[in-house]
Each structure stands twice: as C-alpha cells, then as structure tokens.
Amino acid sequence: AQTVTQSQPEMSVQEAETVTLSCTYDTSESDYYLFWYKQPPSRQMILVIRQEAYKQQNATENRFSVNFQKAAKSFSLKISDSQLGDAAMYFCAYRSAIRGGSNYKLTFGKGTLLTVNP
Amino acid sequence: NAGVMQNPRHLVRRRGQEARLRCSPMKGHSHVYWYRQLPEEGLKFMVYLQKENIIDESGMPKERFSAEFPKEGPSILRIQQVVRGDSAAYFCASSVTGGSSYEQYFGPGTRLTVT
C-alpha cells in the first residue's frame, strides 16, 4: 500500500518570503500522480498543483512549484512571494496511474499547517 | 457551472441517531467518491460509486455505514446509530469518469458532530 508522509505539522513564513513544504511517499509503482491540495479555514479542498511521475520537468503554477525527486520519492512544494491568502493546511496526495488497479483513490498525508505572518 | 455541492454543511447528531449526507456531483460527472477527514488527519478514501453501482467500498466501515448513488438525485452517505468516533468532516468528490488522469473535484464537505 502507498503511504504519504508530511514531516512538518506546522510551518510559518513572512509575507513575500519563500517557503518549502516537504512530502515523501512510498510506493512500488512506477506510474502515478502526485498532488498538493490547499485547505483554507473554509475546509474546501483546492488543487494547487499536480505532477505526473513520468515527467521529469517539475510542475509550476504561478507562485507554486514543486521539486519532484522520483528516486528519492520526494515531492516538495515551494511557495514564492507568500501572501496572507496562502495561509492554510496543505496536503500532499498520491494517486496510482496503473490501469486496472485502484487508480481512483487519493492517498493523503496528514498535512502541514502554513501560517503567513504580515 | 456549479461545483460539487454537499449538504448539509454542518450536521449535529446525538449518539444513536442516523446521519444522512448528500452530495450532488458537478454537471456531467457520473463518478462520486467519499472521503473522511478525522481531526488532525488527512482525508481517507471511503467509497467509490458510479450511477446505481458501488465500485469500491473498501474504505468504509463494515457496519453502520452505507452509500448509494441512484440514477436520479444526489449520492447519499448514510451512517446509522452514530457514535462519537464518527465525528469528522466528510468530503465528496466527483469526476467525469474514473480513470486516473481525470481530476476529482471536491465539495466543501459536511462536518458531522456527534454529541
């Protein structure tokens, strides 16, 4: 079974600074997707960024980028120019891309609570 | 295009009562997933349904929990005889189809409190 580990329960960053959230995962599969979700106080789950394991290039979405290290099974999220609205719980998630298996299940880490200080 | 709708947003039940949580998927989506988020935890998969079919309920407790997605109307997650340990946020997600390349869109969740 796949597992996702987020070793930082809480992180804080100054507004306009950069912060990196860590995520490691364990899988025996070679084809999969990785995600970062944001959960603000409203509790709505918002997809921040997605990475396909077969792609070597790291995904980027505006101020959000990832550092995907497949061999190390590491998937960190970098938030540049942090804004007050970035304050939220961030979840790392894994999803298999293997056909015929349980490739619809998202497996989540326990989350990292990000505080942005003005 | 409305997103995934869940109601109620908050539900309070006394121990032993029944809880019914509703999920209306996005327009055009026929695949629904339920996840549960216990306090201080990430979301955990419960069940995957297509219209009139349960595809995978491996994440759902064997007793007291059931789910359905009828041909017409919303998907329902039903918890009978609730206990304090059922207190959690329950999220529904939907997708246009079940393949791994298709994104799941989440609803705002229902927070169940059992007193």
Per-residue pLDDT, B33: 96
CA dist B11 and B89 (Å) reads: 10
pLDDT bin (cut points 50, 70, 90) of residue A56 is confident
pLDDT bin (cut points 50, 70, 90) of residue A42 is confident
Selected residues 15-74 of chain A with any CB under 8 Å from a CB in chain B: 33, 42-47, 50
How open is the CA angle A62-A109-B68, to the nearest 5 degrees? Answer: 100
Cβ B56–A102 below 8 Å, yes or no?
Answer: yes
Cβ partners under 8 Å of residue B69, min gap 6? B32, B49, B50, B51, B52, B53, B75, B76
Indicate the residue of A43, A46, A103 with minimum beta-carbon distance to B100. Answer: A103
Which tens digit of pLDDT belongs to each residue from A57-72? 999 999 999 999 999 9
Across A44-82, b (16+ Cβ under 10 Å) vs e yields bbeebbbbbbeeeeebeeeebbbebeeeebebbbbbeeb
Indicate the residue of B56, B104, B108 with minimum beta-carbon distance to A106. Answer: B104
Cβ B108–A107 below 8 Å, yes or no?
Answer: no
As beta bridge partners, residue B36 has B44, B90
Per-residue pLDDT, A46: 92
Phi and psi, residue B84, nearest 5°: -55, -35
Q: Is some CB atom of chain A closer than 8 A to the CB atom of B106?
A: yes
CA dist B51 and B69 (Å) reads: 5
Task: Over range B79-84, report the average pLDDT.
Answer: 97
Cβ A108–B42 below 8 Å, yes or no?
Answer: yes
Task: Over range B21-42, report the average pLDDT.
Answer: 93
Q: Which helix (H) or strand (E) holds B76?
A: strand B75-79
Q: Is some CB atom of chain A closer than 8 A to the CB atom of B39?
A: no
Comparing alpha-carbon positions, the chain B residue that sits nearest to A104 is B100
Cβ B42–A91 below 8 Å, yes or no?
Answer: yes
Per-residue pLDDT, B35: 97
Query: What is the phi-psi region of residue B81: left when phi exceeds 0, alpha when psi lies from -120 to 50, beta otherwise?
Result: left
Percent of chain A with pLDDT over 70: 100
Are B34 and B92 contacting, i.e. CB atoms less than 8 angstroms apart? yes
Closest CA to B102 of A29, A30, A47: A47
Closest CA to B34 of B77, B80, B74: B77
